[in-house]
Amino acid sequence: MAAAAAVSGAKRSLRAELKQRLRAINAEERLRQSRLLTQKVIAHSQYQKSKRISIFLSMQDEIETEEIIKDIFQQGKTCFIPRYQFQSSHMDMVKLASPEEISSLPKTSWNIHQPGEGEVREEALITGGLDLIIMPGLGFDKQGNRLGRGKGYYDTYLKRCAQQHTKPYTMALAFKEQICLQVPVDDHDVKVDEVLYEDASAP
């Protein structure tokens, strides 16, 4: 039990540190890294071969995903976005009709647009699963360990994917400031297949 408490304490302090790091990134730098990662995603072989893609709508301190969403539609792929249930760790991935639709969706307490809970939408797992999940997070290490915001939405959803379909490829988008030496993890945490960020060693 002591080990679990230690991990949760380590996660808490790392979350606080990462939130501070993220607050320090100015709008211009955020846009620069977002553009760079948009290009990385669009050029990625996993993205190119995926037909059904789930992607998050960005919060203020996350990589901006708007241009990727537009590309998903331009390429004729199917786009799903998260619908979080705030009273639990349950999340669905529901179909988005168009990029233009986003601004008309109601806003949650986190200031993210998402379809209302009562609104009937196609859910990815019911209609054939997902090929690719592009996901957010607060911190990552180079081994693919991810530190989320503590609710477990993605971990829970990925377990559902694995039970119902073949596991989608998971790709996280991160500012280079979110890359940590080592992210503390426990048994519930699901690794991501790949973390995309601005890598100094890459061309």
| Residue 64 is labelled as binding a ligand | no
| Residue 151 is labelled as binding a ligand | yes
| Residue 149 is labelled as binding a ligand | yes
| Residue 15 is labelled as binding a ligand | yes
| Residue 21 is labelled as binding a ligand | no
| Residue 13 is labelled as binding a ligand | yes
Report the 10 Å Cβ neighbour count for 109.
7
Measured at the CA of 55, the angle between CA 49 and CA 59, to 5 degrees, comes to: 150
| Residue 11 is labelled as binding a ligand | yes
| Residue 148 is labelled as binding a ligand | yes
Give the Cα separation of 8 and 148 in Å (integer). Answer: 12
Give the Cα separation of 79 and 93 in Å (integer). Answer: 9
| Residue 57 is labelled as binding a ligand | yes
Q: Tell me if 157 sits within 8 A of 91, measured CB to CB.
A: yes
Q: How far is CA 8 from the centre of its chain?
A: 21
| Residue 157 is labelled as binding a ligand | no
Q: What are residue 21's phi and psi, to 5 degrees? A: -60, -40
| Residue 167 is labelled as binding a ligand | no
Give the Cα separation of 7 and 2 in Å (integer). Answer: 9
Comparing C-alpha atoms, which of 200, 203, 196 is closest to residue 65?
A: 196
| Residue 49 is labelled as binding a ligand | no
Side chain identity, residue 53: I
| Residue 52 is labelled as binding a ligand | no
- SS3 percent helix, strand, coil of the chain, rounded to 5, is 35, 20, 45
| Residue 154 is labelled as binding a ligand | yes
| Residue 117 is labelled as binding a ligand | no
Q: What is the CA radius of gyration of the chain?
A: 16
Q: Which residues are annotated as a binding site for substrate?
A: 57, 62
Q: Which residues are annotated as a binding site?
A: 11-15, 57, 62, 146-154
Q: Which residues are annotated as a binding site for ATP?
A: 11-15, 146-154
